[in-house]
Amino acid sequence: MRILVLGGDGYLGWPTAMHFSARGNEVMVVDNYLRRNLARETRSEALVRNPNLHERASIFNAVTGKKIEVRIADCSNASELDELFLEFHPETVIHYAEQPSAPYSMIGYREAQRTLNNNLNATFNVIWSVIRYVPECHVIKLGTMGEYGTPNIDIEEGWIDIKHNGRSDRFLFPRQAGSLYHTTKVLDTDLLWFYVRLYGIRVTDLMQGPVYGLETAETGADSQLMPNFHYDDIFGTVLNRFLVQAVAGIPLTIYGKGGQVRGYLNLQDTLQCVELACRQPASKGELRILNQFTEQFSVYELAERVREAGNDIGLKVSLQHIANPRKEKEEHYYNAKHAGLIEMGLKPHLLTGDVIERMLRRVMEYRSMIDKEKVLPRVRWG
Ligand code: USQ
């Protein structure tokens, strides 16, 4: 299959590109290094300096003999994206090309505007490139569980049936996101749904929870192939941050009470889910929404698990509750359905003590590179 990976330099994009290339697909990755630049601007560089995309592709080629085509281009620029669609004629496009950080989007006007412009324009351009050049192409779009927020009712998989004054209809599940970044994903979904209804394109919107991990089947061949592993307050997701904090001897930074529940998944399961979506595409005129996570945890539970696994291997891990820099519920109901991907064949890698221990040991190899100044939250909501 010809697979175009937009945002192919990212934490998910690069492992996705390797995954599909290793399995015999024709893969082209596109990126404009937005995240790398924003990370540099905000002093949030990854734990290990990752080679650039051209270098990554040649290292991958040297160890596997497989090719990944690289293009440095900006997906929020329609003509740059059009050219790539005309050249490559993808059968599947995996769209990760977004500013992915909630805290970054909450720094101020400039950062919010950059997030809004980049994310909405990239999605809008992908839709139009598909409509104009490859109308049969399956769009796999990375959404987020954060689109739903934390409602006081069960979270359905994308859609809800509503009875009102004796009549009923099916609607997108109500969304109420907690950051501007998450709100751009809500707007993306609305754009996609509009163009699915009007033009009959085929779309899978993957509502993913926070991802953790630094290894996939392809990263073992050369340590330079590892994903960008962020542990700072802006680009680091919570469990990855806790792993680094545990290794650095920093008490784990639980924001507020720590009762915030989210659905989590291992990076390896992101790849499985995207592969499943790719192999079993949405139909023409369908917006298929899948909730992409394997287990629910509160922040406090996550911290406890890291403490236990860390202490088992001789780290001295402690916890701290710090003032929550975000505006979010710290105790709430949370029950999100996630049967779709399991029914399609997902075999979850769960967060066992052994899994945490293995990740901690990997991080310990890079202990000397941890910059403790990057850990405490710098961005406050509102
Ligand atoms: N949190 C802490 N301590 C920390 C960092 C975070 O308690 O040191 C808490 C946050 O307040 C939040 C939860 O952990 O309640 C998750 O935070 P996160 O930073 O791991 O996740 P988030 O900002 O929501 O964003 C991440 C990715 C984003 C993705 C999203 C999925 O950066 O790209 O869309 O996870 S979800 O959270 O389901 O919306």
Find the mean pLDDT for residues 263-281: 98
SS3 198: helix
CA 346–ligand 1 middle distance (angstroms): 23
Counting atoms of ligand 1 from 1, which one is nearest the CA of 324? Answer: 11
pLDDT tens-place string over residues 330-375: 999 999 999 999 999 999 999 999 999 999 999 999 999 999 999 9
Half-sphere exposure of residue 252: CA atoms within 13 angstroms, side-chain side: 30
pLDDT tens-place string over residues 7-53: 999 999 999 999 999 999 999 999 999 999 999 999 999 999 999 99
Residue of the nearest CA to atom 10 in ligand 1?
255
* Residue 344 near residue 280 (C-beta atoms within 8 A): yes
Measured in residues, the chain has a length of 382
Counting atoms of ligand 1 from 1, which one is nearest the CA of 262? Answer: 38
Amino acid at 142: L
- The answer as to whether 379 is a domain residue is no
- The answer as to whether 225 is a domain residue is yes
CA 152–ligand 1 middle distance (angstroms): 19
Choose the catalytic residue: 144, 189, 219, 237: 144
Domain count, the chain: 1
Residue of the nearest CA to atom 4 in ligand 1?
238
Pocket test for ligand 1, best of 42, 95, 266, 299 (most atoms within 8 A of CB): 299
Q: Which is it for strands 202-208 and 138-144: parallel, antiparallel or unpaired?
A: parallel
Let me know if 181 is a catalytic residue: yes
Written as six digits, the tokens of 240 are 């990855």
Amino acid at 135: P
Task: Measure the CA–CA gap between 342 and 332, rounded to whole angstroms.
Answer: 26
- Domain range for 357 is 2-374
Residue 175 confidence (pLDDT): 97
Average pLDDT, the chain: 98
- The answer as to whether 381 is a domain residue is no
Let me know if 185 is a catalytic residue: yes
pTM for this entry: 0.98
- The answer as to whether 382 is a domain residue is no
Lining ligand 1 with CB less than 6 A are 100-102, 144-146, 182, 208-210, 237-238, 241, 253-255, 260, 262, 299, 326, 328
Residue of the nearest CA to atom 14 in ligand 1?
238
Task: Measure the CA–CA gap between 8 and 10, rounded to whole angstroms.
Answer: 6
The CATH number given to whatever domain includes residue 298 is 3.40.50.720
Residue 382 confidence (pLDDT): 87
Let me know if 115 is a catalytic residue: no
What proportion of the chain, given as a percentage, has pLDDT over 70?
Answer: 100
pLDDT tens-place string over residues 153-210: 999 999 999 999 999 999 999 999 999 999 999 999 999 999 999 999 999 999 999 9
Choose the catalytic residue: 104, 181, 195, 334: 181
- The answer as to whether 341 is a domain residue is yes
Counting atoms of ligand 1 from 1, which one is nearest the CA of 238? Answer: 20
